[in-house]
Structure 1
Amino acid sequence: MTGSTFSRDELVDAFAGFEATVGRAAATRDWDPWVDQYTDDVTYVEHAAGTMHGREQVRPWIWKTMENFPGSYMTSFPSLWTVYDEATGRVLCELDNPMRDPGDGTIISATNISIVTYAGDGKWRRQEDVYNPLRFVAATVKWCGKAEELGTLPDEAAAWMAKFGGMT
């Protein structure tokens, strides 16, 4: 796509709104406002889960992902850096995915690159998340090991470890 009609200021403001909404979703565990920022016909490319077409395909995936371990233990999704490309209406960023403190103040996280394409009026028409799933598995295994060592490993994390912990 070329010839975007969105200025840098509009992209910056729209992405600040996107991040604020995602931050509130993480704090409240209500994922609908996050999904509602996408257009009805959004294309969401998630390399491990596949490509979803339309907001109502994205919605159950986000709810399932974020309400089950390890997503349910991710506390926020702040961008570490951001690039605004006015020519394409895209925002590229590296997102951190920190997990909750296992009990001793340790912060364990993994990052991904997200590319979101703005549609105007506070809506996003495309998102692609680029990352190595094995880095997320390794971070989750590390978190589980620390929680087990501290005696704070919840049953759902222990079940996840039994199923996926040997993948690193």
Structure 2
Amino acid sequence: MTGSTFSHDELVEAFARFERTVDDAARTRDWDPWVDQYTDDVLYIEHAAGTMRGREQVRPWIWQTMETFPGSYMTSFPSRWSVIDAPTGRIICELDNPMRDPGDGTIISATNISIITYAGDGKWKQQEDVYNPLRFVKATIKWCRKAEELGNLPDVAAEWMAKFGGTSGGTR
């Protein structure tokens, strides 16, 4: 891989913009600005969903993922830590995926590692998300059981539980 032409400071600012954009998207539930920060020909590698090429492949996936339970109950995607690799123009970070409060203040989440590669002009040319999908399933089941225990399990979550996490209605 050829070296990056971006300075450490430029990458710091670009990643800060990335985080603000993702935070705004999670808050407003408008996923287009998130997608628009990628280049037209972005390579997005998502180990559970596959590889997408181009913003117009990424856009429907992000909307579907974030507007369908359990993604629709994730409230933010803050980075827990990040590493800037200026020679390659990459940021490697651990992103948290906390879910809504099930009713008692409990925070239930799962994390993933993301590797994003900067293209310049505020755009990212590649993102790779690395994680164990079973951790997300386990966190979602935990959230559903807690919400059910508190009498706050929404129908969409009960349907998800019946399909992926075992039956609801008190069965553990």
TM-score normalised by structure 1 residue count: 0.98
1:17-65 CA-partner distances (Å, limit 9, x unpaired)? 0000000000000000000000000000000000000000000000000
**Amino acid paired to 2:123:** K
Q: Which residue of 2 aligns with 1:126?
A: 126
Write the distance in 2 (CA, Å) between the matches of 1:61 and 1:3: 31
Write the distance in 2 (CA, Å) between the matches of 1:18 and 1:83: 14
Write the distance in 1 (CA, Å) between the matches of 2:76 and 2:8: 25
Q: Which residue of 1 aligns with 2:68?
A: 68
1:80-112 CA-partner distances (Å, limit 9, x unpaired)? 000000010000000000000000000000000
**Amino acid paired to 2:104:** D
**Amino acid paired to 2:46:** E
User: Superposition pairs for residues 22-61 of structure 1, below 5 Å?
Assistant: 22-61=22-61
1:120-157 CA-partner distances (Å, limit 9, x unpaired)? 00000000000000000000000000000000000000
User: How many angstroms does 1:3 deviate by?
Assistant: 1.3
Specify the SS of the correspondent of 1:18. helix
TM-score normalised by structure 2 residue count: 0.96
Q: Which residue of 1 aligns with 2:136?
A: 136
Write the distance in 1 (CA, Å) between the matches of 2:111 and 2:2: 28
Q: Which residue of 1 aligns with 2:170?
A: none
Write the distance in 1 (CA, Å) between the matches of 2:107 and 2:34: 24
Q: Which residue of 1 aligns with 2:165?
A: 165
Q: Where does the alignment leave 5 or more consecutive residues of structure 2 unmatched?
A: 167-172
Is 1:9 the counterpart of 2:9 in the alignment? yes
User: How many angstroms does 1:2 deviate by?
Assistant: 2.8
Specify the SS of the correspondent of 1:57. helix
Write the distance in 1 (CA, Å) between the matches of 2:38 and 2:97: 20
Q: Which residue of 1 aligns with 2:19?
A: 19
Q: Where does the alignment leave 5 or more consecutive residues of structure 1 unmatched?
A: none
Specify the SS of the correspondent of 1:94. strand
**Amino acid paired to 1:71:** G
Specify the SS of the correspondent of 1:126. strand
How many residues align? The count is 166
Moved segments of 4+, more than 3 Å: none
Specify the SS of the correspondent of 1:98. coil
